[in-house]
């Protein structure tokens, strides 16, 4: 029983960390006003940032920002 609880806790922590990183990606993309530039400076791919933003938007249930209009 304890192993299941530990796995659930670890899974929840990973989800929270992923959401935190997604928020960081969004904030940095807003700051630079360019997803490619923010990806390059964060040493990750542009598609990784886009996917994390889309996943967070799906979790939240709304668009965080429109790609043509910046924050």
pLDDT band at 26 (very low <50, low <70, confident <90, very high): confident
Concatenated DSSP letters of the chain: -HHHHHHHHHHHHHHHHHHHHHHHHHHHHHHHT-HHHHHHHHTS-HHHHHHHHHHHHHHHTS-S--TTS--
CA distances from 57 to 9, 21, 33, 39, 53 (A): 23, 13, 18, 18, 6
- At 44-67, the pLDDT tens digits run 999 998 888 888 888 889 888 776
Domain residue spans of the chain: 2-60
| Mean pLDDT, the chain, integer | 79
pTM of the model: 0.66
């Amino acid at each position: 029983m304890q192993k299941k609880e530990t796995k659930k806790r670890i899974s929840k922590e990973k989800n929270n960390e992923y959401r935190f990183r997604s928020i960081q990606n969004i904030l940095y993309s807003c700051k630079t006003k360019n997803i490619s530039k923010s990806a390059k400076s964060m040493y990750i791919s542009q598609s990784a940032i886009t996917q994390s933003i889309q996943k967070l938007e799906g979790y939240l249930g709304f668009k965080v920002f429109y790609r043509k209009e910046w924050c």
